[in-house]
Structures are given as C-alpha cells and as structure tokens.
C-alpha cells in the first residue's frame, strides 16, 4: 500500500497542473477552500513533524557546513532575486510584495520528493527543509518587511505570530507525538506526503481561481518574473555548492532546496497580511517549481542510471 501511495505522491507536479487548469477554466470550483488554507498548512506541518525526531536535530551537527550554506543560500539568493525581479519588471505593488514574500519563504516539503527522485542526498534535503522552516519563523517576516517596505507597510510582528501558529506549533506537536506515541503516528507517516500534496493542490487551485482576472491583467510580466525566480534559484543553488567543492548529490540537493519554496505558506501570509492579489505570485510559484523540479528530477535520475550502467560495464568480471 505504501508503494502505491508513494507513486501517487511522486506525480504531484501532474496533480498541481490538473488542479490549476481546472481552476483556470472554472475559477469558482476551488473558492470554498479559502477558509481552510491556514488549517491545511497546519496539517502539512504536522505531517512533517511526525516524520522527525530529536535525533534528527543531532544529525544537523554532522554536516553543519553544508546545511548552513544551503539554508543561508535559501534566505540570501531567493529574497534578492525576488526583490530584483519585482523592481525589474515594475510589478504592481500587491504582486511585487507577493513575489518578494514567496522568495523569502523556506524550502517546500515537496523538495524532499524531488530530492528522492533526483538521486540527491535525501537526508540532507530533509534536514535543510527542517532547518529553513524553523529559520523562516523569524526570517520570512523580517526579510519581507525589509525588502517590501518600499511598496507598502508590512507588519512583521503580526506575520511572525501567524508563522509561529502555522509552522512552529504543528511541527513541535508532530515531533512530540512521534517521540512519545510512535505507534499512534506510524500509519500516518505513509499518508503524510500524499496529504501534503493534496493540500498544496487545493491551495494553488484556490488562489489561481480567485485571482484569475488579476493574473490576466498582469500579463506575461508576472509569469516571467516568477519563472525567472525559480530558474535562478535552482541554477544559483547548484553553482554555489559546486564552486565550494561538494559532490554531485550535495549540488542537486542544495539546488532543489533553494529553487523550491513553501508557496503554500507564502499564499497564506499574503492573503492574511497583504491582500488576496498578493497571493497570486505564490500560487504561480507552486506550479512553476513543481514543473521545473520534476524535469530536473527526470534528467538527473536518467543521468545517474547511465553512470550506474557504465560503471557496471567497466567493472571487471568476477567469473
């Protein structure tokens, strides 16, 4: 059963595309989910929490440099890219703030699925997602406030409190459940990734449907700016870790973690603290990073399989 769930989960890019397409054609079809975006994100974070333990925090110290570089890149490369693109494309203020906000978000939980499919370092991916998510409790509101203040006043403290409610409380609760009631959450671990994908699809579809007219009026600038944000994140993340001399699996992992944002969190923060319009770049972001990540996963997986095949052919016979 777990293999079937994993296969369904691995097709998350397809589900996001289908949901977005339905929302585009029938904009009101997912409007009902608007009130459930916050609780839905809480469920995702709880699902992440039940896959973690206190031992995972100890593992952080085994590869502190790689994790530190990756998380640092997440909160330096992407926010600067988001701010630069918002200014360069002269986006309308709500859309500009939305783009900056999503660029200041932590790595998305879907990055772990892409890391697995890409033959990257899955353990490092999970630890980076965990660390960037906790760091985001402070950094996402503060960076958004600093970079978006030229467009409008952003209440960093209120955004901080919302992030604590959506991120910190459910994750800590999940860790405690996993630590003290492991048998209770054992069955839920297999379902958690699929539920996360389902919630992401609902959030993206809801935001796209509610903002269809605004997205149309923004035109190609909005789509191109979000696309360049993620292409830049994937490319610069890979390049940074390459020049520092890390192995290919580390390069892929950091590329994925930097390039993929928690767009669901961005959507909720934008909708609650800026405007519903500001959530549009976040929804488009989710579609883009899922597609780019899936293509990269397919390319890197084939590349690894070819290398494995060549290695097997070159190995001396044991006969």
Q: 273-302, pLDDT tens digit by residue?
A: 888 888 888 888 887 887 888 788 778 877
Does residue 15 lie within any of the structural domains?
no
The tokens for 182 are 């492991």
| 42 contacts: CB under 8 Å, gap ≥ 6 | 165, 166, 169, 170
Looking up residue 113, the CATH number of its domain turns out to be: 1.20.1530.20
Does residue 313 lie within any of the structural domains?
no
Rounded percentage of the chain residues whose pLDDT exceeds 90 = 13
Domains: count for the chain = 1
Q: How big is the CA angle at 82 (ends 279 and 298), to the nearest 5 degrees? A: 85
Owner of token pair 């009902």: 32
Does residue 123 lie within any of the structural domains?
yes
| 107 contacts 70 by C-beta, under 8 angstroms | no
Q: How far apart are CA 283 and CA 212, in angstroms?
A: 11
Does residue 28 lie within any of the structural domains?
no
Cα atoms found within 13 Å of the Cα of residue 183, Cβ hemisphere only: 0
Strand locations in the chain (E): none
Long-range (24+ apart) CB contacts under 8 A made by 179-182 are 179/53, 179/54
Helix (H, G, I), strand (E, B) or coil at 104: coil
Does residue 186 lie within any of the structural domains?
yes
pLDDT tens, N- to C-terminus, the chain (319 residues): 567 777 777 777 788 788 888 988 998 898 898 888 778 878 877 877 787 777 766 766 676 787 888 888 889 999 999 999 999 998 888 899 999 999 998 887 677 777 767 777 777 887 888 788 888 888 888 898 888 877 766 666 777 777 777 777 887 888 888 888 888 887 777 777 778 778 878 877 887 888 787 777 767 888 899 999 999 999 999 998 899 888 888 899 899 989 988 887 888 888 888 888 888 888 888 878 878 887 887 788 778 767 666 666 666 555 4
| 135 contacts 263 by C-beta, under 8 angstroms | no
The parent domain of residue 245 ranges over 36-302
The dihedral region occupied by 317, where left means phi > 0, alpha psi between -120 and 50, and beta the remainder, is: beta
Facing residues of 261 across strands? 107
Does residue 2 lie within any of the structural domains?
no
Does residue 260 lie within any of the structural domains?
yes
Does residue 50 lie within any of the structural domains?
yes
């Amino acid at each position: 059963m777990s293999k079937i769930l994993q296969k369904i989960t691995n097709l998350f890019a397809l589900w996001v595309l289908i949901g977005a397409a339905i929302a585009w054609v029938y904009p009101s079809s997912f409007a009902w989910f608007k009130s459930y975006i916050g609780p839905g994100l809480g469920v995702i974070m709880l699902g992440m929490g039940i896959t973690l333990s206190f031992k995972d925090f100890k593992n952080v110290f085994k590869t502190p440099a790689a994790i530190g570089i990756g998380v640092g890149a997440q909160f330096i490369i992407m926010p600067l890219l988001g701010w630069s693109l918002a200014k360069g494309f002269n986006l309308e203020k709500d859309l500009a703030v939305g783009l900056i906000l999503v660029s200041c978000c932590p790595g998305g939980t879907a990055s772990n699925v892409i890391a697995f499919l890409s033959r990257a370092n899955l353990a490092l991916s999970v630890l980076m997602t965990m660390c960037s998510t906790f760091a985001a409790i402070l950094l996402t509101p503060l960076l958004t406030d600093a970079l978006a203040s030229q467009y409008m006043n952003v209440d960093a403290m209120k955004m901080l409190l919302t992030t604590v409610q959506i991120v910190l409380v459910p994750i800590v609760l999940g860790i405690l459940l996993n630590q003290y009631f492991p048998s209770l959450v054992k069955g839920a671990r297999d379902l958690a990734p699929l539920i996360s994908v389902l919630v992401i699809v609902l959030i993206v579809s809801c935001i796209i449907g509610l903002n269809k007219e605004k997205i149309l009026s923004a035109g190609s600038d909005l789509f191109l700016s979000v696309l360049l944000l993620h292409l830049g994140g994937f490319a610069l993340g890979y390049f940074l870790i390459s020049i520092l001399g890390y192995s290919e699996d580390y390069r892929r992992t950091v590329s994925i973690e930097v390039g993929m944002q928690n767009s669901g969190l961005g959507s909720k923060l934008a909708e609650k603290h800026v405007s519903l319009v500001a959530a549009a770049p976040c929804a488009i972001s989710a579609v883009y990073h899922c597609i780019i990540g899936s293509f990269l996963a397919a390319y890197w997986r084939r590349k690894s399989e070819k290398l494995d095949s060549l290695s097997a052919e070159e190995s001396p016979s044991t006969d």
